[in-house]
Amino acid sequence: MAAAAALGRFFGGLLAPPVCWSCSGLSRRGDPLCGSCRSGLHRLAAEPVLLSGVGVWAPVAYSGPARDLVRALKFRGAIALADTMAAQIVANAPGHFLADRTLVPVPLHPRRLRSRGYNQAAVIAEAICQRSGIEIVEGLTRRGPSVTQVGRDRAARKAGLAGSIEVDGEMPEKVLLVDDVVTTGATVGACRDALLAHGAREVAAVCFARTIGR
């Protein structure tokens, strides 16, 4: 039985070789990007940037292959990509940034959560937890209009989050927000305001990709 299963996996791999999520070319098994697209990732500086009052750190810029990975996780159900993103975060984040904090995923609007079936930020947070042992608390809820940041122009994004963020239950004092991508910082800023109003003392954020020039 074991030999048959091994043969099945072998021939299955021949029939369906791993494909790059960015260019659709061939990639190495276990790697979501081919060598060329992996080299095309725009690596960001080691220090966080301040967006909407929140220190935000990401390993790569939201462009090119990184944007394709984010979209695959968010819109194509490629949940396994969350571990790739978590690996980049845990391996490259400034040491003090992950220390003595509790992971809190940025919430997804309930309507969007029902449609998608999962919150990509929570999936990334779980993968970070598995790799680092950092505790997760899911205590934020999004209310109001179900409006995604995708498609909103820059002025609308900078004006603030559509809807509001509410805190459910007790929150830790030192929070590390987790999201897939940060653009203007309006969403993490709204999360920070809600957390500080409910007992948190320090709030920072990590994400896989960040829009540069913000």
Q: Is 194 helix (H, G, I), strand (E, B) or coil?
A: helix
pLDDT tens for residues 146-161? 555 555 445 544 545 6
Percentages of the chain per state (helix, strand, coil), in multiples of 5: 40, 20, 40
Domains defined for the chain, CATH in brackets: 1-40 (no CATH), 42-210 (3.40.50)
Q: What is the pLDDT of residues 192-204, one digit of tens each?
A: 999 999 999 999 9
User: Is 13's pLDDT higher than 60?
Assistant: no
